[in-house]
């Protein structure tokens, strides 16, 4: 008896990628209670409020953007804006990115939204915001990372649907990650079955022996993908060009994902493969929407010009900065205290009660907390802060700060700080 291997990969991919981040990123051992910063931090002398800080009024999406107006001049020549997140599960980060995208659409002519998730699921969301067909909540729950199975993203999708209904389908929802192997293979299979093409059948029809481990199946599948990519069949005459291009794109993402997951001897090579492919995917989106402006939604560690903890980690943002220059800018997010949503390392369950530890001495978060401003934004080039920075992925962590003191303008062009935050709302 054989079992299908590829349908199991979505969960394995997420767990593998997050465990790499936990094991390899240098962290600083911190102590203190969640909620308000520790007493030693709270009693510190208040920091001078720089004229470069832009006080913000709210993270909640709405129709007023007066507080965001100062961003217009700084973003005037930007074509791709990478909007990050200091955790993968903070309500205020997610809500503000919804608000930011509305501002970019209505005030600055942006039309494309792209998220750190797969292109197959994103295409189903795009169909919904264009035609109203499908159930966006069900799509998020089936096709997206569990970190993005949240009400905040669903709210953005519903707004995009309403906007498209009123403005002639101007907005596009896209995905640029390469880890959703099962979904990509389903996408390939749908096209090849529709037109009776069997050139990708060794991949789309693959099953792994029952006694194979997951890693054995990964390696076996990669061998198949390597062979197909190296000997790419010609486009069959009966498959339309657009559908063929999409199927080949799915194939290249499967290939990249398998190369990532089989680079077990070199974790740095593995994560570099992923970010490199994500950059290729963003460039593809830009090519498909020439002249249109794009906002990306991803983790701080991806949109930054470098990761902050690993110099040899070539991030998505680093690739885009090299390719687009000043036409790419990024905006990081961080917070002082509160709770966040993440997968528990103990029971492997998504929970919304994980505490943020107090800002550590020498951290950028402590400096921003001491301003007394509950919500602010600033250009890192006008205010070049330096310090330790909080960075949490999709797995909960008690050690939350990068040890090294970072020059913030070496990572981000802009920073948003919310002093107190709460956990993202799961679906």
- Tell me the β-bridge partners of 388: 363
In angstroms, the CA 423 to CA 152 distance is: 11
Mean pLDDT value across residues 221-242: 96
Q: In the chain, what percentage of residues exceed pLDDT 90?
A: 77
Digit-coded pLDDT (tens) for 292-349: 999 999 999 999 998 766 778 899 999 999 999 999 999 999 999 999 999 998 888 9
Q: Which residues neighbour 45 within 8 Å (Cβ) at sequence distance 6 or greater?
A: 370
Mean pLDDT value across residues 40-62: 72
The answer to whether residue 4 scores a pLDDT higher than 50 is no
The answer to whether residue 137 scores a pLDDT higher than 90 is yes
Residue that wins the pLDDT comparison between 254 and 384 = 254
In angstroms, the CA 251 to CA 256 distance is: 9
> How many Cα neighbours within 13 Å face the side chain of 400?
31
Confidence of residue 268 (pLDDT cuts 50, 70, 90): confident
- Return the pLDDT at 309: 66
In angstroms, the CA 319 to CA 302 distance is: 10
Q: What angle do CA 292, 296, 315 make, to 5 degrees?
A: 120
Phi first, then psi: what are they for 40, rounded to 5°? -60, -35
The answer to whether residues 236 and 218 touch, using CB atoms and an 8 Å cutoff, is no
Burial of 341 (0-12, 13-18, 19+ CB in 10 A): buried
**CB burial readout 163-199, b (16+ within 10 A) else e:** bbeeeeeebbbbbbbbbbbbbbbbbbbebbeeeebeb
Digit-coded pLDDT (tens) for 235-246: 999 999 999 999
- Return the pLDDT at 311: 74
Residue that wins the pLDDT comparison between 68 and 216 = 68
- Return the pLDDT at 308: 65
Q: Residue 367: how many CB atoms within 10 A of its CB? A: 17
- Return the pLDDT at 32: 25
Digit-coded pLDDT (tens) for 172-193: 999 999 999 999 999 999 999 9
Strand ranges inside 1-55, DSSP E: 2-3, 54-55
The answer to whether residues 223 and 15 touch, using CB atoms and an 8 Å cutoff, is no
Phi first, then psi: what are they for 54, rounded to 5°? -105, 105
In angstroms, the CA 118 to CA 114 distance is: 10
In angstroms, the CA 8 to CA 20 distance is: 19
The answer to whether residues 5 and 216 touch, using CB atoms and an 8 Å cutoff, is no
Domains defined along the chain, listed by start: 2-421 (3.40.1660.10)
The answer to whether residues 90 and 422 touch, using CB atoms and an 8 Å cutoff, is yes
- Return the pLDDT at 48: 59
- Return the pLDDT at 30: 24
Burial of 234 (0-12, 13-18, 19+ CB in 10 A): exposed
Mapped onto helix, strand or coil, the DSSP state of residue 35 is coil
In angstroms, the CA 343 to CA 394 distance is: 6
Q: Which two tokens stand for residue 362?
A: 């020498």
Sign of CA dihedral 417, 421, 426, 427: negative
The answer to whether residue 37 scores a pLDDT higher than 50 is no
Sign of CA dihedral 126, 89, 318, 82: positive
- Return the pLDDT at 281: 98
- Tell me the β-bridge partners of 35: none
Digit-coded pLDDT (tens) for 408-421: 999 999 999 999 99
The answer to whether residues 275 and 314 touch, using CB atoms and an 8 Å cutoff, is yes
Mean pLDDT value across residues 215-235: 93
CA 142 to chain centre: 17
CA 233 to chain centre: 33
Residue that wins the pLDDT comparison between 425 and 22 = 425
- Return the pLDDT at 29: 25
The answer to whether residue 389 scores a pLDDT higher than 50 is yes
Q: Which two tokens stand for residue 81?
A: 């804006």
Q: Residue 22: how many CB atoms within 10 A of its CB? A: 16
Digit-coded pLDDT (tens) for 333-348: 999 999 999 999 888 8
In this structure, the strands spanning 110-118 and 54-55 are unpaired
- Return the pLDDT at 34: 30
- Return the pLDDT at 203: 95
Lowest pLDDT segment from 63-67, 196-200, 281-285: 63-67
The answer to whether residues 113 and 160 touch, using CB atoms and an 8 Å cutoff, is yes
């Amino acid at each position: 008896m054989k079992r299908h291997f590829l349908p199991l990969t979505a969960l394995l991919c997420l767990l593998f990628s997050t465990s790499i981040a936990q094991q390899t990123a240098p962290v600083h051992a911190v102590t203190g209670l969640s909620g308000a910063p520790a007493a030693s931090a709270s009693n510190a002398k208040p920091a001078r409020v720089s004229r470069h800080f832009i006080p913000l009024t709210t993270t909640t999406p709405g129709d007023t953007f007066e507080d965001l107006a100062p961003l217009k001049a700084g973003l005037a020549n930007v074509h791709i804006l990478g909007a990050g997140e200091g955790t993968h599960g903070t309500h205020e980060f997610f809500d503000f990115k919804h608000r930011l995208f509305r501002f970019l659409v209505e005030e600055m002519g942006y039309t494309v939204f792209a998220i750190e998730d797969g292109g197959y699921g994103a295409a189903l969301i795009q169909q919904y915001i264009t035609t109203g067909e499908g159930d966006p909540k069900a799509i998020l729950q089936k096709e997206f990372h569990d970190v993005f199975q949240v009400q905040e993203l669903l709210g953005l999708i519903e707004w995009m649907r309403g906007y498209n209904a009123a403005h002639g389908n101007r907005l596009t929802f896209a995905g640029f990650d390469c880890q959703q192997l099962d979904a990509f293979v389903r996408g390939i299979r749908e096209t090849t079955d529709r037109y009776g093409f069997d050139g990708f059948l060794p991949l789309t029809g693959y099953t792994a022996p029952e006694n194979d481990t997951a890693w054995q199946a990964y390696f076996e599948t990669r061998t198949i993908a390597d062979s197909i990519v190296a000997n790419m069949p010609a486009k069959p005459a009966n498959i339309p060009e657009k559908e063929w291009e999409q199927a080949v794109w799915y194939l290249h993402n499967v290939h990249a994902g398998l190369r990532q997951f089989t680079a077990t001897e070199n974790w740095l090579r593995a994560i570099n493969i992923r970010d490199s492919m994500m950059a290729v995917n963003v460039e593809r989106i830009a090519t498909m929407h020439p002249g249109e402006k794009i906002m990306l939604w991803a983790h701080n560690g991806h949109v930054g010009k470098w990761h902050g903890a690993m110099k040899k980690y070539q991030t998505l943002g680093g690739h885009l900065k090299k390719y687009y220059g000043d036409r790419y800018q990024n905006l990081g997010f961080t917070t002082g205290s509160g709770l966040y949503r993440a997968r528990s390392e103990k029971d492997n369950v998504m929970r919304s009660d994980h505490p943020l530890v107090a800002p550590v001495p020498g951290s950028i978060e402590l400096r921003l907390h001491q301003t007394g401003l509950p919500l602010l934004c600033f250009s890192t080039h006008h205010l070049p802060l330096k310090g330790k920075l909080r960075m949490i992925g999709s797995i909960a962590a008690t050690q939350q700060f990068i040890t090294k003191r970072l020059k913030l303008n070496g990572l981000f062009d802009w920073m948003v700080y919310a002093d107190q935050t709460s956990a993202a709302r799961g679906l």
